[in-house]
């Protein structure tokens, strides 16, 4: 597992916590500050920059539940039809629920990438401000 994958997994774990986005970034910032030096942080940030969502995938990142909702509906209707004796209903249930779950998972991973990128940007901003303050004194 690469360092980027490890930090993305950690960001996903932070997303499961019930707290504000600022608190999630703060917890990640502390962990990254202790474990990763500045050069590695810059490399992680650059690597993440290429992975960040744009266009429709950005919309999915921000509204993953809304995008997946029609597919959950298709899955539910498929189940209903399947129970009522229509064999194609089961296929609709499987396809709809698989698509909905995939969209939710895709949005979740992109949200974790965005959280990690924001955290690294915040760290870089704070360290540059700290070095500027030291130069002014």
Can you tell me the mean pLDDT for 108-119? 93
36-54: pLDDT as tens digits: 888 888 888 888 888 887 8
pLDDT of amino acid 131: 62
Can you tell me the mean pLDDT for 71-88? 94
Can you tell me the mean pLDDT for 17-22? 89
**Token code pair at residue 45:** 């940030």
pLDDT of amino acid 52: 85
Domain limits, the chain: 3-136
Q: Say how far apart CA 99 and CA 72 lie, in whole Å.
A: 8
Residues 6+ apart with CB under 8 A from 46: none
Residue written as tokens 């703060």? 26
**Token code pair at residue 67:** 């995008």
């Amino acid at each position: 597992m690469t360092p980027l994958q490890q930090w993305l997994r950690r960001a996903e774990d932070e997303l499961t916590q019930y707290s504000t986005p600022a608190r999630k970034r703060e917890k990640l910032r502390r962990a990254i500050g202790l474990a990763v030096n500045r050069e590695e942080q810059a490399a992680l940030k650059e690597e993440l920059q290429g992975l960040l969502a744009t266009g429709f995938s950005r919309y999915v990142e921000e509204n993953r539940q809304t995008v997946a909702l029609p597919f959950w509906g298709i899955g539910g209707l498929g189940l209903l039809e399947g129970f009522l004796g229509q064999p194609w209903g089961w296929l609709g249930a499987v396809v709809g629920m698989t698509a909905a779950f995939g969209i939710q998972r895709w949005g979740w991973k992109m949200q974790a990438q965005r959280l990690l990128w924001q955290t690294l940007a915040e760290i870089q901003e704070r360290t540059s401000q700290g070095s500027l303050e030291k130069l002014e004194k």
